[in-house]
Structure formats: structure tokens, C-alpha cells
Structure 1
Amino acid sequence: MARTGRLRIVRHFTLDADSPRPHFKDPCVMKSLHTLRFGALAAALFLSASAIHAADAPTLSAKFVGVGQANQTYDRFIVTYKDGTTQRSSSTAALQNVKAAISRAGLDRATISSTGGATVAAVSASYQRKLAVGSDLVRTSRKLNQSEANTLMAQLTADPSVAHVQPDYKMYRVKDIPAPAAMNAQANAALQAFTPDDPYYEEYQWYFFNPTGGADVNNAWNIADGTGITVAVIDTGITQHPDLDYSLATNNIGYDFITDSFVSGRPTDDRVPGGWDLGDWDNTQPYLQECYGSNNPADGEPSSWHGTVVSGEVAELTNNGIGMAGIAYNAKVLPVRVLGHCGGYDSDISDAIEWASGGHINGVPDLAQPAQVINMSLGGSGTCDATTPEYAAIQDAISRGTTVVVAAGNSAADVANFTPASCPGVIAVASNGITGKRAFYSNYGSGITISAPGGGIYANDASSGQIVDNGFIWQAVNLGATTPIYPADPAEAYGGMAGTSQAAPQVTGTVAMIDGAVKAAGAQALTPAQITNVVVKSARAFPVAEDHPIGAGIVDAYAAVNLALANGGGTAPSATPLTKGVLLSGQSSTTSNLYSIVVPAGATTLNIRTLGGSGNVGLYVKAGSAPSANGSNADFSSIKPGTSEAVVIPQPQATTYYILVTAPQGSYSNISVLADYNP
């Protein structure tokens, strides 16, 4: 059957200098086809996460970092009370504490504005809910400006019962850029359908089989397909599509976690089953005021259907004679909606992580089958530390056995400054193009776990030039400009995107294949730390010299599944185990030695030291997998002259920490190694 084409629009996301919070650049270009009608459409969405920086707040002792955006207002606050306090266990006491802080801040009485003489209403507060991580969400009766918000938070943290307070930050999608006119001819290029099963697989899905920049998924299908595995896609939700299995939405197992009616587009402030994407378009007033100017163009911006695209990449139906293919195509996608109009809230995202991994959330039915892997193609500014809700939720998820995969971000900057990609224990994924080169927009740094094909946009993965089909990742999409379009049957439409939001699902799908293959073999399920080690150890070496560190290599699904199956899934690195609080002496090497310590849930202040002996050592520590030989991807390090090195981790995660002791000057002898933690 002949296929016709028509031009849609190309969008990509940029970093707005006047944005109230920094955002990922996300040069995601989408082309779409309806019954294979091609065009270009923008796509990847990143939400900003907490702006609290670890350098400012390394532990919960740093109670708050003031907000600095004069043009932004706040009416939701996350308050964390200390363990053992009355406020921690009593919502009544927690709210009373907030009301007392409002009074001390002088906000409980009406005032006259200094500009215009208008009356400024008195502030009261209402209790919203307890977050799964233990914090409390409260809401003020009106929005507070920068000065008022900082004054209130200062008064809250003056109370010794308060461990930390932050606004429940509102997240935003950044402004799109139209496609160049030259895209017109390319978008309408003739399409050659072919058989057998997925007509557009060979022509467009290079990232499944290209030996240079691809993920080697095609070969992995011989041994794994994700059967029996549930993948949670925490994103904008899902829409109906003939090439997707959306049964977990139809059966009301997925969930919409957005509690704010404006953000969700639903009439009430609540959570509802299904996980359906109702759209995340930018509208006219009053939406512009809510979304703050430059992040919401005056002419509006169409819905991204981002969760649908990510879901398709992970598990689009394959060998069904329709459209394109997915990675772990027999896995079940659990749609978890956290992003809507103007993005989403930290409080909703952290609860969604807890729930998807098997945690209990009041008012939401517990999952009978928690997700073995979570994909989060979202993120924003700020280093992830123990003060952020996502930090605690991710640690809980990992402790339950759920692997968490996160997009590194598209700001061409160090991933250490972005959340949740910098959260300990996650698999942080950078993006490469078809040549294996780092995509020009991709974040980088020692915090990156691995790279995966996310699309380079331009020919030969250049940073500009000719836009090409193999510069994108292609998957199912909806054609609705605002709300979903559902004809008699869901439209067969596909689109191309480029971004780390597309690279992350390549790894998520690979993890689902690993989990499914191990399960089918009857072997014991791998821990998230073991999964990470498999992905790292099986990575394919970069074919080019990368300009910045982007992890251990390019994800290789075939090699990863084979490694996981080897020796019944024996995947832990060979390391000398350390016993808590016991000094291991007499250690010598001319190269390096690797050690490990298993840290249980609830432990604090992990202290790792080397001492005594002679020579010179370097100390590198990584959660879940062994540091690289030169320590470049370590989570923590200590490099001083001599043999006395120390790493202290105030809030360690529940996992195995690997400790690499190197000999940077040729050798060391008779040193001692110690690892200890509280309690």
C-alpha cells in the first residue's frame, strides 16, 4: 500500500536563561507518521527536580536552602521532621508547627502592600498528606513570594524538631524550537515498507542492530524478550496505540499520581487508576502565569506524549506485522503518570517511585507485582542528596530489589549537578549517536554509568549540519495536539526523538531482558547492584575517543544477557570482603586491590579508610559495582600523598560498596583497610 507523507513540526528543548529553575536542554526532534505519514515533531520532556545542592546541604543537618527566584511563588512545602519527634508521627502536631511558624513569620495577619496599597491576605495552612519517605506536605492558603517563602522556611527550621524543609517545587517543560524548512522535503521522503513482521524496523531502528553505535538488541532477542518482567515508566502516562500493550492501564493497575488538578488536567485534586496520558500541552492564560513566562510560549505548545514514546521503546509489540519494534517486547509496561501541564511535583514523583517498587502509599492500592525496573526519563538541576525526596525513595526502591534507570540530561554539562541522575545507586545513562560519539547535548562526567544510543540528530553525530533519519530514535506516538486522538481504532503513528530520554529506555529494556532471562533460567534474581555490574562489565568499548567521560561504554544487550546467564548469574566482581569494623592488614600491590562491604538498610556514616604501611595509594569507592581501573567513575574518592586515605558517606544506600585501592606510584605494601558504619 502506498504511504503518503506530510510535514509536522520539529521541536527541541533548550536551557532558558530566564527560567525560574534550570532545565535540561533536550534537543529532541520527533518525526511522526499516521498510517506511516511522516513529519517532524518535538518530543522529549524533562522535568526540573529539586534545586538543593549537595555542596550546600551534604546531610539533613542543612535544614533549607532559600529560594532565589523573585518572579516565582510557592504554596506547597515539604517538611521533614526528625525521627522520634511528635510531629513526625502526628499530622495534627506537624500542621500546628507550621501554623506557629507562620505566626512567627508575621504572615498570619493581613497587611497593606508597599506597592499599590492593596491588601495582602493573611496566610493559613492546611495539611495535605504524608509522603512515603516520611516527610509532610503542607499547603498555604495563598502563594508566597520569594521573601515570604524564605521567611517561613527560616522560621520552620528554627524549630529543633525540623530536619529539613523545601518548597514542593513546580517543574516545567522548556520551550520548543520549530523545524527548519529544509526538513519539509526530508519528512515527505518516500517510505519503503518491507516485511516480514515490523515493516519499518530495518529502515529506521538502527539503534537495535548497528554494530558501532547501537545496543545489539537484535542479537539479544535470540535469548531474551522480557517475558515475566514489569517495567514502570514514570513519565507523562500512556496513550492507546495498536503497536503497544497498554493492558495495565486498561485494567486500572497503572496510576496517575498527580495530585494537583491544574497539573493533571482532571477536575479534582486526587490520584486515579489507569496511568493514562491526558496531555501536557501549554495553554493560554491563566496557564502562562502558572508556567512562568519563557517556559510556556504565548502561542501554546502541543502535548509531547513522552511516556508513550518511552513505553514503546522499552516494549513496543514486535513481530506483529505493524510499525516498529521494542526492546523487551514481552515485558509489561506499568504506566505511572507524574508529569502533566507545567511538569510535576517532587512530592508526587517520590511517592510514585515508592509505589512502583512495591511500597505502600495511602489511598493507592498496593501493587501485586512491583516493577523489577523503573525508567525515569526526567530530571533537573541540583545534586541528589539525603535532603531530597527522590533520594530516599530511590534508596527504598533499590532495597526492595528494583533497578532504577535515569536519563543523564541534555544540558551538555556534568551530571553531578542534576537530579535524579546523580542519586546514588541509579544507572545514569548518557547518549551517543550512530557513530558511537557522545551526542553533543548529552550530560557527562564520572557519575555516568553507561552510554546508550539516543540519537545524534545531525549527520555523523556532528553538533550541527544536516538533520538525518538515523539521528533519532523511532517509536509509537499519538497524533493529538492537546488531548489524545482516538479514531475508531488507535492511530498507527510513529515519531523520532533524540535525547538522553531516549537513551535511558535502551538500558531499561536491556535490564528487563536480563531479568527475564535469569528468571526463565530458574536462577536467583539479581540485585540492582548485580544488574549494574552486568551492564557495566558487558558494555562495548567506545569506537571513538570521547570528549568527556560517559560511562563504561555503550550498552550491549546481547553481551549483558549472556553475562548474566553465565554461571547461574554469578555477576558480582571478584573482591575481598571486608567485615564491619574489622581492620584488614598486610595489604600490598603493584597495581590495585578491590574490596567490598555490604551495607544494610538504615545504616549511616559509612567510613572507609586506608592506613599504615608504605608507598602511596588512591582510594575509590562506588555503590553497586566496581570502580573502573583508574577510578574515573567512582562515586567517592580520596587521593593524597602517602597511605592515609579516607571516604565518609553520611547516608549510604543499602547495597554493596566496592572499594578500589590503587598504587599510583608503582606499589604499596603492608597497608590496612577498614570499613565501618553506624549502627
Structure 2
Amino acid sequence: MRYDLSARTPMRVLAAFVLAACSGAAAAQVYDPPVPAAVAARMNLTALGAQSGFDRFIVYYRDGSGNGAALPASVAASTAPAARTARLQALGGDLARVSAALGVKLAHVRGLATGGELVGVQGQRLPPAAAQRFMTQMLANPDVAYVEPDRRMTIKMVPNDTYWQYQWDYYETTAGMNLPAAWDIATGSGVAVAVLDTGITAHSDLAGQTVGGYDFISDVATARDGNGRDSNPNDEGDWFAANECGVSYSSNSSWHGSHVAGTIAALANNAKGIAGVAFGARVVPVRVLGKCGGMISDIADAIIWASGGGVSGVPANPNPAKVLNMSLGGGGACGVTFQSAINSARSRGTTVVVAAGNENQNVSNSSPANCTGVIAVAALDRKGNRASYSNFGTTVDVAAPGGDTAASAYDGILSTLNAGTTTQGTENYVFYQGTSMATPHVAGLVALMLSRSPSLSPDQVESTLKANVRAIPGICSGGCGAGLVDAGKTLAALGGGGGTPPPGNVFSSGTDVVIPDLGSASSSIAVSGRSGNAPSALKVYVRIVHSYRGDLQIDLVAPGGKSFRLKNASSTDSAANVDTSYTVNASTVTANSTWQLKVADKYSGDTGYIDLWSLTF
């Protein structure tokens, strides 16, 4: 069932919401001890509620011209060399005074083009109450005009796509997948998702979002392109007349693959249409379904090819996918062919996401959702109930929004489509429902996960998804897996601001640890449940946010104290940040107990923090 939105005028409620949300003044949070109003006016007190700790502050001094204003814009003129020399002398005295009063080490970091001076707290982050005391102490000098904490800014992604308000499946609190919170952490960049489906149609909201692809339909009549298998994954239409496909009814072309592709990776923030779950990812369109469907023999070859394996007579895939989306299925047991193809894809590190099926039956009767090693996805309606059509059962892994157009067209899943009834026509956007629609929500989320943590195995992906779901909001008779996928919580668990580390053989820490300038920092991971020694190829993933990574020397310290050098400091490496994996032969040390990542800053002038690190056994 589908509903075409293209003829409707989009409601511009997003802009109204954004303006309303920003129009009210935030209430100031005053931490103990209370700050007099005259002093509070000279500091950014409300900023203290923005994060849990602060290690840098921006200080503005009056410029001596008598303007005496408290706002930064009024003191920004004090950039003349003589004025700045005097200001730095005053700053030195103030830092010594405040350091003694609060028992913290303070240092001048640099001047700002605005006329402010950046001050750093060495070796720690001040919680909000302590940060307030720091600012109050600085303002005890009447020549200090204004102080504010130097806060970390992140993406707060609410896209400007014109139909965003209809994408309830992303953001609604009842049955949405909490997607905007995940976009603050990852967008799927660098990840290829293969969509094994009807192929792809041209659509402006998918322009530049696809790469490569192949047509695996070997039967000419099914393919409708006159030549069977070829390198063109164009969707030729899957329409059929009554009694042509073993059924008495007829059907128009579904353009199903384009709808699935749009949910995964439609362009975002292009002031048009919809946003994809992983709009930074790229879709590899693989055509396996045509008139009357597609054959397992073709689909199995496509699974292997899409994941980077070799298929006789088909050129190698230059864009191997780490995620496969199969919004397709049929009856019966999994079978050796399907299972072998899936095993082959998994052996190359590819996660396979499959629709549970739309027969309102136990998923044990739906293939390939009943195959081993796949992530089988059930569908929920807008109220969070198992959709009336969705398959169920103990082998369903997770649930995702699938829609219910029977309740209302707007309760379906909106995505990219084509208006042609048989052959292609103009592009449009249409509401669909089905486990076919739920599945790309999960495939897109997997792309976000792999963009954040590329080393995750298919089993780790599945375990992390299941460990970070939320409870089914409504009723699910028969079993809807671990719960409703929660994109924000899942990405946070991979080091995006908290949450639980991935289960299984990955142990990680996502707690931020400040690396002071010319100082050192360490972060610990407790490993348990491992027998014997660590492996000879222990994988150590490290992500450090730092403005000059050459300053950093990084060591892994094993239980018992043995140290492994991961990175030396280098005065010539001026790039920012560390985001890489190291392999260590740790076979001589025990696996269980506490491991440490030690980071030393060997050169002055730059600071940063340990963002995330993990051990893979």
C-alpha cells in the first residue's frame, strides 16, 4: 500500500518549531554559593549547565579606555600591543591569586581574535560548582569585564529537509528510533550499504548517494532489460498482469529498491524531501528482484559479490559493502544456498540485515530471515505495537518502525520513489508500510555504528544493537526480539558520550579523560571472562581529540605492568586527533584484570582528551 505525497504542499512546521524552541530565555542555574546579580552579569552562568566539567575559560579585561562594559563585544577592541601587554601582566597576577585560592593549576593558553584570553586548568576538569567559583574569583578583580567557560560544541542535527516533519519514525518519542541523537555522533561516512532489491531509479534526493552496483537477474523475462545479468542496476519495473506470477491479481511497479535506498541514505540538509538514516553512507544498488520476484540462485551470488567475494563471470565489486540490506523473503527453511552465501558474507566482516516478513506468522517459516547469522527485523506501527502484518518469533532480533498506512497514510514510512505505474516516470515521495521498511532503518543504523567503530564484527554489531534497545512501547504478541532499536543510545555505547560498552570480546572505555599540556593522563579498562593470556594480535583502537597529535606518546600497559609502545611523539606531525587501531603481541601477559592506556603530552601549546579506546580479544 502506498500514498503519494508529491502533490501535497509541505507544511513548514519545522521552522516554526525551531523558532519557538529558541525564543525563550534559558533560566540561569546558580550553583552554590549564590552569585550576586552584579557579578553574575559579568559571567556566562547559564553555560555551566551545558556539560559536566570545564577545563578552559575565556577571560576579558577592560581595555582602560573607560568604557567599562561587561559584554565581550565591548572589550574586544583591546587588541593593541600595549593594551595586550598590560592585560597579560594583569592576567598573570590573577591566575596566581585564583590558583592559590582554589588549589588548582592554571595556565594561559593563548589570546583570541576577539580580545579574550584563553585560560586552561591543568590536570582536571572543574565541575559546574567549581567552575562557578573560578569565574567568581576571577571577577574579584574589577578590571576583569567578563568570564565564560570554553564549551565543546557538537552537531545538533535536525535536518532542513522539507518532509522532515513526516519522518516520525526517526524522532517521535513513542515509536521513533531516536535518530537525531545519533547524528550528533556519526552520519555513516565511509560505509557502503548494499541494497539487494529491485534496483534503483534516478532521484534527486539520491544523487551522489549511490556507488557502483550490478544487475544479478539472470532470467531475461524477469530482468526486462533484454540481456540478463549486467553492470546496470537500473530498476526496469516489477509490474505484472493478472495470472502472470501465479496470482490472480495484477500489480504496478513498486520501485521498492529506491524506497529502501532512500530510508538508508537519502541526502540530508538539502532543503528537499527526506533524510536518510545514514545520509553519510553510500548505497551499492544490487538488482535481484524483477517481474515476479527473484531466484535464490541469483540472490546468493549477489550476497557474495556485494560483500566482496568472487562470482564467476562477474567483475569484482570495487565497492564491497559492510552492510547488506535484504528487504525480501519467501517461505520455507533457510536452505544450504542461502546459508552458505550468508556465511561467506559474514566471513568478510559484512553484517546481513533481513526483513522478518509480512505474513503475520512465525519467522521460522520465512527465509532468509530464519537463516543463522542474520539480523532479522520485525516492524512496529506508529503507536509502538507490532504491526498487524509483521512476522514474529524467538528468532527475531530487533524491531524498528515499519508503519501502518491502514491507520493513516501519514503513519507509513515516507521515502524516495517513482511515479511510473509500469516503466519509470517522474520522481516522487511515497508512504509505504512493511518489514521491508523497518529493515533499512536497522541497516542504516548499522552503517552509523561502523562509521563510528569500523572494527566491529557482525556478531559485535548484533550484540551492541540488542544491548541498547528500548522496550517495545506497545504490544507485541509472539516476540519482537530484544526491543525497539535506539540509535542515540547505540551510538553513545560506542563512545559517543556514555552508555554501555559493546558486549562480547570487545572491552572499551568511552569516558573522556583530559590530557594536560606537558602532562600525562591514563584511562583504564577492566577485562573479565577471558581465560589464559591475551592474543598475539590484540587489537587496540584509540580515539584521542587533540589539536596537535605529534605531541602525544601513547602506551598500552597490561596487567602486571608490561608496557607496549603504540605511538611515539613527533614534532613534525602537526595533524589533529588520533583515530586508529594498533595490533599488539600480548601473548605473554594475562588477559583478565586492568589494562591502561597512558598518554603523555611531550610538547607545550596544545591540549586534548582521550575520547574512546577499546581492546578486541
Q: TM-score range by the shorter chain?
A: 0.5 to 0.7
- Flag the structure with more relative contact order, 1 or 2, with Cα contacts below 8 A and sequence separation at least 6: 1
Mapped pair 1:538 → 2:468: yes
Paired residue for 2:412? Answer: 472
How far did 1:431 drift? 0.6
How far did 1:193 drift? 3.5
Mapped pair 1:271 → 2:229: yes
Letter in 1 for 2:404: G
Mapped pair 1:484 → 2:434: no
Matches within 5 A, 1:607-646: none
SS at 1:477's partner residue? strand
Contact 2:265 2:277 (8 Å CA) reproduced = yes
Letter in 1 for 2:235: D
Paired residue for 2:329? Answer: 379
How far did 1:435 drift? 1.8
Deviates more, 1:438-447 or 1:240-249: 240-249
Paired residue for 1:37? Answer: 7
SS at 2:353's partner residue? strand
Deviations 1:317-360 (A, max 9, x none): 00001011110001000000000011111110000000000110
Match of 1:244 among 206, 216, 230: 206
Paired residue for 1:140? Answer: none
Count residues with an aligned counterpart: 367
Mapped pair 1:430 → 2:367: no
Mapped pair 1:452 → 2:452: no
Paired residue for 2:83? Answer: none
Deviations 1:9-45 (A, max 9, x none): xxxxxxxxxxxxxxxxxxxx21113xx315xxxxxxx
Deviations 1:441-492 (A, max 9, x none): 111110000000101335xxxxxxxx32442000110011111125xxxx3x
How far did 1:539 drift? 0.5
Match of 1:571 among 502, 505, 511: 502
Paired residue for 2:177? Answer: 215
How far did 1:436 drift? 1.4
Contact 1:231 1:331 (8 Å CA) reproduced = yes
CA distance in 2 between partners of 1:277 and 1:202 (Å): 26
CA distance in 1 between partners of 2:482 and 2:247 (Å): 40
How far did 1:594 drift? 9.0
Contact 2:489 2:499 (8 Å CA) reproduced = no
CA distance in 2 between partners of 1:328 and 1:338 (Å): 23
Contact 2:268 2:274 (8 Å CA) reproduced = yes
Change in Cα spacing, 1:536 to 1:594, as seen in structure 2 (3 Å) is farther
Contact 1:30 1:497 (8 Å CA) reproduced = yes
Mapped pair 1:354 → 2:304: yes
Matches within 5 A, 1:9-28: none
Change in Cα spacing, 1:562 to 1:475, as seen in structure 2 (3 Å) is same
User: Over the residues paired in the alignment, what is the CA RMSD in angstroms?
Assistant: 2.5
Contact 2:220 2:226 (8 Å CA) reproduced = yes
Deviations 1:355-404 (A, max 9, x none): 0001101221112231010000000101214x3x1110001101110000
Letter in 2 for 1:536: K
Change in Cα spacing, 1:420 to 1:358, as seen in structure 2 (3 Å) is same
Quote the sequence identity (%). Answer: 42
Structure ID, larger Rg: 2
SS at 1:505's partner residue? helix
SS at 1:484's partner residue? coil
Letter in 2 for 1:32: D
Letter in 2 for 1:559: K
Letter in 2 for 1:256: D
Letter in 2 for 1:263: T
Change in Cα spacing, 1:228 to 1:398, as seen in structure 2 (3 Å) is same
Contact 1:351 1:361 (8 Å CA) reproduced = yes
Contact 2:327 2:355 (8 Å CA) reproduced = yes
Letter in 1 for 2:324: I
CA distance in 2 between partners of 1:194 and 1:211 (Å): 18
Letter in 2 for 1:245: A
CA distance in 2 between partners of 1:262 and 1:240 (Å): 23
Mapped pair 1:558 → 2:488: yes
CA distance in 2 between partners of 1:472 and 1:595 (Å): 46
CA distance in 2 between partners of 1:496 and 1:575 (Å): 39
SS at 1:228's partner residue? coil
SS at 1:428's partner residue? strand
Mapped pair 1:192 → 2:146: no
Letter in 1 for 2:451: G
CA distance in 2 between partners of 1:518 and 1:495 (Å): 33
CA distance in 2 between partners of 1:320 and 1:194 (Å): 17
Deviations 1:90-131 (A, max 9, x none): xxxxxxxxxxxxxxxxxxxxxxxxxxxxxxxxxxxxxxxxxx
Paired residue for 2:70? Answer: none
How far did 1:498 drift? 0.9
Contact 1:433 1:454 (8 Å CA) reproduced = yes
Match of 1:407 among 336, 341, 355: 355
Mapped pair 1:302 → 2:252: yes
Matches within 5 A, 1:583-594: none
Mapped pair 1:314 → 2:252: no
CA distance in 2 between partners of 1:516 and 1:574 (Å): 19
Change in Cα spacing, 1:324 to 1:449, as seen in structure 2 (3 Å) is same
CA distance in 2 between partners of 1:570 and 1:435 (Å): 30
Change in Cα spacing, 1:368 to 1:279, as seen in structure 2 (3 Å) is same
SS at 1:323's partner residue? coil
CA distance in 2 between partners of 1:439 and 1:594 (Å): 39
Paired residue for 1:345? Answer: 295
Matches within 5 A, 1:169-208: 191-194=10-13, 198-208=160-170
CA distance in 2 between partners of 1:334 and 1:239 (Å): 13
SS at 1:243's partner residue? helix
Contact 1:198 1:323 (8 Å CA) reproduced = no
CA distance in 1 between partners of 2:504 and 2:410 (Å): 36
How far did 1:569 drift? 9.8
Change in Cα spacing, 1:471 to 1:393, as seen in structure 2 (3 Å) is same
Match of 1:261 among 190, 215, 220: 220
CA distance in 2 between partners of 1:204 and 1:568 (Å): 29
SS at 1:476's partner residue? strand
Paired residue for 1:364? Answer: 314
Change in Cα spacing, 1:332 to 1:575, as seen in structure 2 (3 Å) is closer
Change in Cα spacing, 1:538 to 1:31, as seen in structure 2 (3 Å) is same
Deviations 1:551-602 (A, max 9, x none): 00100111111112379995233799xxxxxxxxxxxxxxxx9999xxxxxx
SS at 2:206's partner residue? coil
CA distance in 1 between partners of 2:505 and 2:247 (Å): 54
Residue ranges of structure 1 left out of the alignment (5+ in a row): 1-28, 39-189, 459-466, 520-524, 577-592, 597-679
CA distance in 2 between partners of 1:511 and 1:381 (Å): 26
How far did 1:246 drift? 5.2
Contact 2:397 2:482 (8 Å CA) reproduced = yes
